[in-house]
Structure 1
C-alpha cells in the first residue's frame, strides 16, 4: 500500500514539475528552428566535430541571458520593448525593434521555405503551395486559439526535436574522438571559421528569444493576477524561472549538439562540406545514413518550424505593440475587436515571410545570413537588457545578483568580440 502511494505521489510530483516547464522550454526548443538546423548542419558538414565546442560553450551564457529576459518580464509585468521604451531614449527602442523586425521576417521566410522544401522531399508536390499552407496554418492558430491551449500545443511540438537524438543513435560513433574534439577542437583562426562561429552563436543566442520569453512570463503573470505577489512567492517564482530556463536551454543546446554531431559523422566524413539548408542536409543524409535517418531529420525540420514560426512572429508583434503603445497579448480576442495592431503585426510578419519564399532571393543565403544578422544585433540588445536588469528603478528589490550579472555581461562581451573579429578579418 505504501509503495502504491509512493509511486502515485512520485507520478504526481513529476507531472507537477512538467507543468511548471513553460516559457523556458518553449523558448529553448524554438531556438532549434529550421534556419538553426541549417546553420548547425553546415557547421558539422564543413568543420566536422571541431564545431561541437560552440554549443557547449554557449550553454551557460545562453541560459544566463534568457534568465535575465524572463526575470524582466515577470518582475515588471511588461515585455522588453515596453521596458526599453520607459528607460531609454525613443531612438533606442525604435532601433532595437526595427532590427528585430528585419531579422525575424528574414528568419520567418527561411524557416517557412525550409519546412516547405522538407515536406516536398518527403511526399512530393509544390514547395510554394506548402509554404502558403504552413504560413496560413501558423497564422490561424496564433490568432484564434486561446493562449493556454496554444501554449500546450507548443509544448507538445518540442518533442519534434527528439528526432535529432534518434538520428545520432542510428549512427556508429567513436565517442572518445567526439569528447576529444569538444575539449580540443582543431580549428584555424580565419574568416570562414569566425563567420561560422558568429552564425552558430547568433542562432543559439537569438534576439527574438529574449523578447518571446519576457513576453511569456508577462502573459503568465497576467493570467494569475488574482494570486498575491508576496516576497516569498516572488522568490519561489524566480526559482521556477531559473529551473525552467536552464532545462529549456540545455534541451536546446543538446539538440544542436546532436545535429552538428550527426552531420559531422556522415556528411563531413564523406567529404560533403557544402550544406547550407536544412532540407539539403536531410537529402544528403539519405544515401549516407539511410532512409530512416532522412525521414527523422526531415520530420524534425517540419515540427520545429511549426514551433518556431509562431515564436518569431509573436516576438515581433510583442515588440512592435509595446513600442507603439498598443495592447499586446495572445490572450486578446480579435473577434471582440481586441489587439488589432498586435495581430496585424503577426499577420504582416508571417505573410511577409511567405512572400519572400516566392522572390528570387537565395534561400541558402537567407538561412545563413539571418543567423549572422541575429549574432550582430544580439550585442546591443543584450547590453540594453543587462542595464535594465541591473536598474533598481526597473526591477525594484529584484535586480539581478552578482553571478547572473557577471554571466550576462560575459555573454554580451563574447558576442561582441566574435562579431568584431569577424568584421576585422574580412
Structure 2
C-alpha cells in the first residue's frame, strides 16, 4: 500500500518545535520520557483516524462539519472566532518558526552563502507548491521530504548507537523531578489540533466522489497508523540522539538551532550535516502544511470552498505564509501572537476533540461508519489527558 495523506500529518507535527522539544527532553531527562512518545503516538492515531473517517464518510472537513452542525447563531459565531483564532492565526504565528528552522538547516549546510536569502527562497518554494492548487503535487513533495527527514534522523540515531536496554527502559512510565512541563510539551507537539482540520480536509477533497468508502476508510486507517508511527520513530530518534550526546553533561542549552553543531564532537562532521538536512526538511514540511491547515479551518468556518484550486483557499494559505515570512525575515517578535494562539488552542483542543468524538458517533452524520464501543472506551482516557494538558497550558499562560 502506498502511504499518502497520513504523511501530511507527520510532515506537520515534525517541525523545528518538535525537534527542540525532543532534544531538550533527551538532554535533560535521558531516555526516561520515551513512554510519553508512545502515548502521544497512540492518541494521535486514534484522533486522526476519526478525523480522516469523518472526511471520507461525509465529504466535509472538520471545520465544515462544525459549521453545519451548530445551529445557534451566537454559538456559530463563537465557534468560528475560536477556530479561526486558534488554527488560522496560530498557523500564521508558528509559520515564522517553521521558515526560520528550515533556514537554519541550510545556513549550517552552506555557511558561506548569505543567510538572508534562505527564508525568502523557502517561502517562495512553499508558495509555488500551495499556489499550484494540486493535492498530488503538494502531497508528493511532502512525502519526499518526510522520507528524507526519516532517513536523516534514523541514520543519526544509528551513529549515536544508544544502549538498547536504556531505550527499552524508557517505555516504562516515570516522571523525573522537573519533567512535567517537558512531558506536556512532548504530548502537545504531537497531538496538534490543526492536524485534525488538515487531515479531514485533504481526505474530504480527495475521496468526496468515491463510492467505496469502506475500502477507503480501511486504507486510510492503515496509512494513518503507519505514518504517525513513523513520526513517532523520528521523534524517538531525535530524543535518543540528544540523550546519548548530552544527558549528564554540561552542554548548556540544547535546541534545534544548535544541536547540529553540538553533535559534531560525538558523532563527527557527518552528523552535523545530517542533522542540518533533517532540520531543513522538518522546517519546510511544516512551512507547507501550516498554511494548508489554516486555510481548511478558516475557509470551512466561513463557508468558503475547501478546494485547493479555490482563489479564497489559496489567498488564506498565502496570507499565512507571507505573515510567517515577514516575521522570520524582518526579525519581528511573534511572541504576543503565539501566546494568543496558544491560549486559543488551549480552549479549542478539548472542545474540538469532544465534538469530534460526538460527531463520529452520530449515525445520522456518519451512516455505517460510526465509532465502535471499544474505540470510545479507549478514547475516554485520552480526552481526560487532553483536558488536563489544555488546563495546564491555559493556567501557565495566564499566571
The CA distance in 2 between the partners of 1:52 and 1:366, in whole Å, is 31
Which runs of structure 2 are paired with 1:85-124 in the superposition (5 Å)? 85-88=67-70, 89-90=75-76, 91-124=78-111
Give the C-alpha shift of residue 349 in structure 1: 0.2
**Residue of structure 1 aligned with 2:375, choices 380, 404, 407:** 404
Residue segments in structure 2 that go unaligned for 5+ positions in a row: none
The CA distance in 1 between the partners of 2:146 and 2:334, in whole Å, is 28
8 A Cα contact 1:61 1:410, kept in partner? no
After superposition, the Cα gap between the structure-2 partners of 1:94 and 1:202, relative to the gap in structure 1 and judged at 3 Å, is: same
Q: How many residues align?
A: 389
Secondary structure at the aligned position of 1:397 is classed as coil
Which runs of structure 2 are paired with 1:248-263 in the superposition (5 Å)? 248-263=227-242
Secondary structure at the aligned position of 2:367 is classed as helix
Which runs of structure 2 are paired with 1:10-409 in the superposition (5 Å)? 17-18=1-2, 21-88=3-70, 89-90=75-76, 91-124=78-111, 125-144=113-132, 146-162=134-150, 163-185=152-174, 187-188=176-177, 190=178, 193-222=179-208, 225=209, 227=210, 229=211, 233-276=212-255, 278-330=256-308, 332=309, 339-357=310-328, 358-361=330-333, 377-409=348-380
8 A Cα contact 1:44 1:268, kept in partner? yes
Deviations for 1:127-180, whole angstroms, at most 9, x for unmatched residues?
Answer: 332111111110111112632233222222211222110001102322112212
The CA distance in 1 between the partners of 2:306 and 2:315, in whole Å, is 11
The CA distance in 1 between the partners of 2:162 and 2:122, in whole Å, is 36
1:415 corresponds to: 386
Give the C-alpha shift of residue 374 in structure 1: 5.3
The CA distance in 2 between the partners of 1:187 and 1:373, in whole Å, is 30
The CA distance in 2 between the partners of 1:119 and 1:292, in whole Å, is 15
Secondary structure at the aligned position of 1:183 is classed as coil
8 A Cα contact 2:85 2:341, kept in partner? no
What TM-score, normalized by structure 2, do the two folds share? Answer: 0.90
The CA distance in 2 between the partners of 1:248 and 1:280, in whole Å, is 28
The CA distance in 2 between the partners of 1:373 and 1:57, in whole Å, is 24
Secondary structure at the aligned position of 1:173 is classed as coil
What TM-score, normalized by structure 1, do the two folds share? Answer: 0.85
Secondary structure at the aligned position of 2:189 is classed as helix
The CA distance in 1 between the partners of 2:342 and 2:257, in whole Å, is 17
* Higher radius of gyration, 1 or 2: 1
8 A Cα contact 2:85 2:344, kept in partner? no
After superposition, the Cα gap between the structure-2 partners of 1:202 and 1:299, relative to the gap in structure 1 and judged at 3 Å, is: same
Q: Please, which moves more after superposition, 260-269 or 403-412?
A: 403-412
Deviations for 1:232-259, whole angstroms, at most 9, x for unmatched residues?
Answer: x322222111111111111111111111
Secondary structure at the aligned position of 1:398 is classed as coil
Give the C-alpha shift of residue 312 in structure 1: 0.8
Give the C-alpha shift of residue 369 in structure 1: 10
8 A Cα contact 2:30 2:243, kept in partner? yes
1:5 corresponds to: none
After superposition, the Cα gap between the structure-2 partners of 1:371 and 1:274, relative to the gap in structure 1 and judged at 3 Å, is: farther
Secondary structure at the aligned position of 1:170 is classed as helix
Give the C-alpha shift of residue 65 in structure 1: 0.3
Secondary structure at the aligned position of 1:50 is classed as coil
The CA distance in 2 between the partners of 1:186 and 1:321, in whole Å, is 41
Secondary structure at the aligned position of 1:353 is classed as helix
Give the C-alpha shift of residue 354 in structure 1: 0.9
8 A Cα contact 2:56 2:203, kept in partner? yes
The CA distance in 1 between the partners of 2:375 and 2:127, in whole Å, is 36
Alignment RMSD:
2.4
Secondary structure at the aligned position of 2:331 is classed as coil
The CA distance in 2 between the partners of 1:319 and 1:74, in whole Å, is 17
Secondary structure at the aligned position of 2:254 is classed as coil
Give the C-alpha shift of residue 45 in structure 1: 1.6
Deviations for 1:374-417, whole angstroms, at most 9, x for unmatched residues?
Answer: 56642222122112212233222322112222333322211212
The CA distance in 1 between the partners of 2:353 and 2:282, in whole Å, is 25
8 A Cα contact 2:100 2:283, kept in partner? no
8 A Cα contact 2:82 2:344, kept in partner? no
